[in-house]
Structure 1
Amino acid sequence: MNQIRQRMNRFMNLIGYLEAVSRINKYGWKPIEDLKTKVSGALGMISAEDVLAKLPLPTRERSLVDGYAIRSFDSIGASTENPVHFKIIGRKEAGSGAAFNISKGDCVEIYTGASLPDCCDSVIMAENAVLSHGGITISEEISKGSNISKVGEDIGKDFQIVRRGDRISSFQITAMLSSGTKNITVKRRINVGVFSTGNELFSYSKDNIQNTAETAIKTFFESRFMKISRLGKCHDSIEEISDKVKRSIEGLDALIITGGTSLGRYDLVPEALSELAETVFGGVRTRPGRTTALYSISGKPVLSVSGFPSSAIISLWLFLPHYIKAVTGMDYQGRRRKIQLATALHSKTGYTTIVPVRTSYDRIGMKVSPVSIGGSVRMIDMLNADGLVIVPDNVEGYSENDAVEVYEVNQP
């Protein structure tokens, strides 16, 4: 009975969600080291530096079409009644370094992507010219700059392509390589381990439960910048949990433990960690996830979450991104946007409530509807959801047609 009372005491003084986030942000976590890598292999990694374009793109004026490069002033006066003839003196393709001496009335046959010959300042589209007598004839004036891409028009020199903390995209890689950057400093991959506790997870248990929480966490969170290693399971034993934590944490940046966080007789994770770790917080006013706890061992976070996969995912989605941002600078919680509610969304004050929602469309546009109510989140709710709404602890809910901030959950 005394043990149960002691465990209950942990949940009598739960801290708010924002206070928990503040503690994560302020804590001095062990840094994630930088490493140098080739830009071509940096997709999905977290940049540890700002990257500016070393060269303008394009570096020279280039043709946007197949046609004929000319000096625009040579076309002055061209009309249907007074066509102007140009002599073709050569041909230029993309990658060709051919040079030409352009005189009055000369043109160069040119292909898309080829750099403009010196002195030329515009390109006549092939379909707007008539081939005749070893040259072309045009029936309208051509403006200076027609059908060409100017130097720096795509990306100017010193344009900021990447910011520190960016998750590097394919377009950023293309822009860096095109503008002269071959290597980039990134954060090395974060190594996270996860193991589950519970006698019920073992096959001999009369009430055996499949250990799916580890797989759920790995498949939801693993990415190019974060590796999730499954470390297996252990019994409801203080000694066994403590030993597994000590053996696991050495080679990791962070550790996640599922199960063993509530008030039951065999919920022993807090006791197992009491001698090993500093408690950052031991319970949060969130629904779901009030038993979520965060510890630190030598500056490495140990997150203790529910053994139910859907609750574990939401708890980690709430708190893990703030650790990632603290050690890498990346905003990881996901893209979000304001969307109107199709139906009212009810919540309980005093707790920050995370509500799975699903988008739909009506004649006005996109709307969202809650797929679960009451604070608990079932697996079926996550299967039906494509977004999450965080309802602050001082808000009872939202009315139909209110605009709410919706986070995408189809990550990473």
Structure 2
Amino acid sequence: MRPVAEHAAAVAALFAPTATEWVPLAEARGRVLAQDLVAPHPLPPFANSAMDGYAVRSADLAAVSVELPIELPVAADLPAGRTDGPALAPGTAHRIMTGAAMPDGADAVVQVEWTDGGTERVRVDRAVEAGQNVRGAGGDVTAGEVVLEAGTLLGPAQVGLAAAIGSGTLPVRRRPRVLVLSTGSELVAPGEPLRHGQIHESNGPMLAAAVDDAGGRAELLRFVPDDVEQFVRTLDDALAARADDPVDLVMTSGGVSAGAYEVVKDAFSRTRSDEGSTPTGEPDRREGRGVTFTKVAMQPGMPQGLGHHAGPTGEVAVVTLPGNPVSSLVSFEVFVRPALRAAFGHPQPERPRVRARLAEALDKPAGRRQFRRGRIDAVAGTVAPVGGAGSHLLAALARADCLIVVDEQVTHVDAGETAEVWLLDG
């Protein structure tokens, strides 16, 4: 069986770095900056008051104290946003609000608490030094300074900084577009009634949500019965319809094991030896798809596939995941999520990893890396398995907040021993 690391590298190689696009500031959170962001002007752009109070000349207050206060005429009112504030004459004060531009001639602000709050004349009972309670122009950012480097993940603070220097749009790496397909004649859309032998289709919504959570753009194509010709036709029609906004990855779930109706495997395994016509006489477009199927030394998620599909608009990368829901999502976490995030330059493509003591013993088969669902107690530094190892136990996965990773050569881990843990909420 193929080692996990080898298959992960092969999946990562499918992705090319995504291109740059410009997005409005309101859509920039969670995106990765594609170019350095340079400040066109200083921040603050002008000297302004850090307090509600009175703009003064500090020299006028040099001898002031509580015992010897001074009274100054208030010559002007300066609210934040006023653009025509008059200069300050010696021996006067301007009432000023936080954020308002400092008037010419003033070099300090007396906070209102050190005055009687007068509007025509103000009594001041404390001296101030030059620059006191004043935010100088460029005190935060200078003009021409790189305020955010390319590769920065844009969060609220970064968006705020971009807005402060006047950026209405930002250059970001394009989010990869992923077409998610689920296969299976037994599948019924959620919300529809079930007949005997049918199940509600869960992999598609689950994997689409996983793509969106990873930072990609998911589109759910549901869903394809176990018929090779219909599978190929549905896929190619979907790719052709998206020619103006091409798909970066086709991700399927199900149909890759060793059964008699493995539609994904049958469709993508066609080679150039199949050249010719379909039963309807139309050209056969299935040749040379270049998708390889393999077994990966992991549990859950052993049957995997990857490669390229020669679609109607050119080659598109393909990853095929197993159909059991836990296998499918764990495979996404191990292989697709980090590759997807790396493609658009995310600085942290992998889940956070820690080590924690097992709350109970674990047993596993030799030769396969096991990913067990778990819940971590960060305070105690322990992790407890949730549910069994079965790849159909989706409820246990929904209760888990981490994956416990046990290496291939290990078959037993005692309670109290440490294990690697992938945090699923990071």
Q: What's 1:302 paired with? A: 318
Given that 2:58 and 2:128 are in contact with CA atoms closer than 8 Å, whether structure 1 keeps it comes out as yes
Instruction: Work out the CA distance in 1 between the residues paired with 2:94 and 2:172.
Output: 45
Partner residue in 2 for 1:147: 133
Q: 1:258: which partner in 2?
A: 253
Distance 1:230 1:208, change over 3 A: same
Which stretch of structure 1 is more off in the superposition, 198-207 or 84-93?
A: 198-207
Greater relative contact order (Cα < 8 A, sep 6+): 1
CA distance in 2, matches of 1:77, 1:280: 86
Which runs of 5 or more residues in structure 1 are unaligned?
A: 1-13
Aligned partner of 1:10 in structure 2 is: none
Partner of 2:303: 291
More divergent stretch after superposition (387-396 vs 309-318): 387-396
Secondary structure of 1:282's counterpart equals: strand
Distance 1:158 1:224 in 2: 33
Number of the residue aligned with 1:3: none
For 1:59 and 1:131, locate their aligned partners in 2 and report how far apart those are by CA, in whole Å. Answer: 28
TM (norm. structure 1) is 0.81
Q: Give the match for residue 107 of structure 2.
A: 121
Q: Measure the CA separation in 2 of the matches of 1:320 and 1:133.
A: 66
The more displaced of 57-66 and 240-249 is 240-249
- After superposition, the Cα gap between the structure-2 partners of 1:56 and 1:403, relative to the gap in structure 1 and judged at 3 Å, is farther
Q: Please, which of 183, 204, 214 is the counterpart of residue 214 of structure 1?
A: 204
The Cα of 1:183 is off from its aligned counterpart by 2.8
Q: Match of 1:16, as an amino acid?
A: P
Q: Is the 8 A contact 1:341 1:403 kept in 2?
A: yes
Alignment of 1:65-214 (within 5 A): 65-131=51-117, 134-201=120-187, 206-214=196-204
Q: Confirm or deny that 1:15 pairs with 2:9.
A: no
Contact persistence 1:86–1:135 (CA under 8 A): yes
| Counterparts of 1:38 and 1:60, CA distance in 2 | 26
Aligned position for 1:371 = 386
In the TM superposition, what whole-angstrom CA distance separates every residue of 1:239-284 from its partner, at most 9, and x where no partner exists?
3333333333443221111111222222342232123522366232
Q: 1:314 aligns with which of 308, 311, 330?
A: 330
RMSD between aligned alpha carbons?
3.4
What SS does the aligned partner of 2:200 have? coil
Could you say which residue in structure 2 is the equivalent of 1:243?
233
CA positional deviation for 1:331? 4.1
SS of the residue aligned with 1:255?
strand
* Kept in 1: contact 2:305–2:321 (CA 8 A): yes
Q: Which runs of 5+ in 2 are unaligned?
A: 271-287
1:45-73 C-alpha deviation (Å, 9 max, x unpaired): 44332223222221112222211112334
Give CA deviations for 1:94-153 in whole Å, capped at 9, x if unaligned: 111233333433221011111211232322221221246942223333233333333333
Q: Is the 8 A contact 2:176 2:343 kept in 1?
A: no
| Counterpart-to-counterpart distance in 2, 1:157 and 1:400 | 56
- Equivalent residue letter for 1:282: T
- Closer/same/farther in 2, CA of residues 22 and 218 from structure 1, 3 Å limit: closer
- Measured in 1, the distance between the counterparts of 2:214 and 2:354 equals 29
Partner residue of 1:269 out of 264, 269, 272? 264
Separation of aligned partners in 1, 2:416 and 2:143 = 49
User: CA–CA distance in 2 between the matches of 1:338 and 1:160?
Assistant: 34
Q: Distance in 2 between matches of 1:163 and 1:79?
A: 49
What displacement does 1:169 show? 2.9
**1:351 maps onto 2:368 in alignment:** yes
Q: Is the 8 A contact 1:189 1:224 kept in 2?
A: no
1:327 aligned onto 2:338: no
Identity of aligned residues (%): 23
